[in-house]
Homo-oligomer: A and B are copies of this chain.
Amino acid sequence: MKLSSRSRYGFRAILELAIDYGKGPLQIKTIAEREDISNKYLEQLISLLKSSGLVRSVRGPHGGYELTRPPAEVKLDDIFMTLEGPPISVECLEHPEHCPRCMDCVTRQVWAKMQSAMMGVLESLTLQDLVDKAKQGDSSDHYQI
């Protein structure tokens, strides 16, 4: 159950968009530099976010990407589902009719519990929460000598 770098990079990228929300579009190469991600690869990841409607693009000079909604209205589960799909994806969770013993399958209940535990975390957080935490971390740096 390794987390893909698609998710890791994707989250960091959209967090940059959240931090700069309201300041106009942010370009791929800017994000790529800040987060030290390959330009071309990041392009694909952001296009995922775009096709799911979380992000909007502006083409041409001074173009780039920006969030379609304010960070406070973007829950992390939307992002995760876009980049990674359902956490703990199992055939019998998504298509119960597929497995004949599904109804009384005990292990299935375990997967379901794990899945809802993860979703609980993701649903309880918004991009704004992350932005706040990030800024909080920044300001603590100012106290350094």
Take A117-B118, A117-B120, A118-B118 as given contacts and tell me if A3 and B106 are in contact as well, using a CB distance cutoff of 8 Å: no
Given A11-B107, A110-B11, A137-B106, the answer on whether A1 and B85 have CB atoms closer than 8 Å is yes
Copies in the complex: 2
CB distance B1 to A3 under 8 Å?
A: yes
> What residue of chain B has the Cβ atom nearest to residue A116's Cβ?
B121
Tell me if A69 is interfacial: C-beta within 8 Å of chain B.
no
Residues on B with beta carbons closer than 8 Å to the beta carbon of A89: 1-3
The verdict on A12 contacting chain B, using a C-beta distance below 8 Å, is yes
Query: Which applies to chain A's interface (DSSP): helix, strand, loop or mixed?
Result: helix
A121 touches B130 (CB 8 A): no
> Are A109 and B133 CB-contacts (below 8 A) given A117-B120, A117-B121, A121-B114?
yes
In the complex, the answer to whether A130 meets B118 with C-beta atoms within 8 Å is: no
Contacts of A114 in B (CB 8 A): 87, 118, 121-122
Q: Smallest Cβ distance from A96 to chain B, in angstroms? A: 14
Report A67-106 residues with CB < 8 Å from chain B CB.
76, 84-90, 104, 106
Q: Can you add 7 more A-B contacts, CB < 8 Å, to A106-B137, A114-B118?
A: A1-B3, A1-B84, A1-B85, A11-B110, A106-B134, A110-B121, A114-B121
